[in-house]
Amino acid sequence: MRRLIEVRTYRLKPDAAARFEQAMTLRALPLLRERGMDVVAFGRCDHEHDSWHLIRAYRDRADLIAQQDAFYGSAAWRQGPRAEVVDCIDDYLNTLLWLSEAAIDELRDPR
């Protein structure tokens, strides 16, 4: 079975990496997982110091839209870590790919 992968790459504002990592790892990622999102991996990109990635897996595009609409529209996100996270981001890019479960498992962050 193939699943839709979203690779979201963030370019951070100067000197925001420590704040971003803390807000994401301590607040945003646990909230994403609590809401049932399949967080495959998160971390700093090897090629640029101020770039980070978040990889999530979905059944299909409709599932991606439904899960993200529910999450990003929720009070838990809007009144929670949203301001902290968004304040660190200069720009971001989303890339969607269809991958097999085996390929997704190879991407999984061991955390």
Q: Which fold has domain 2-107?
A: Alpha-Beta Plaits (3.30.70)
- pLDDT at position 109 is 72
- CB–CB of 23/84 below 8 Å? yes
- pLDDT at position 87 is 97
List pLDDT tens digits, range 41-85.
Answer: 999 998 877 899 999 999 999 999 999 999 999 999 999 999 999
Provide the Cα torsion 78, 81, 82, 87; round to 10°. 150
Instruction: Judge whether residue 88 has pLDDT over 90.
Output: yes
- CB–CB of 64/4 below 8 Å? yes
Q: Starting from the edge strand earliest in sequence, which strands make up the sheet with 2-12, in order?
A: 38-44, 51-58, 2-12, 89-100
Instruction: Judge whether residue 99 has pLDDT over 90.
Output: yes
Question: Is the model's pTM score more than 0.75?
Answer: yes
Rounded Cα–Cα distance for residues 93 and 111 (Å): 24
Q: Domain segments of the chain: what residues?
A: 2-107
Residue 104 corresponds to which amino acid? Answer: I
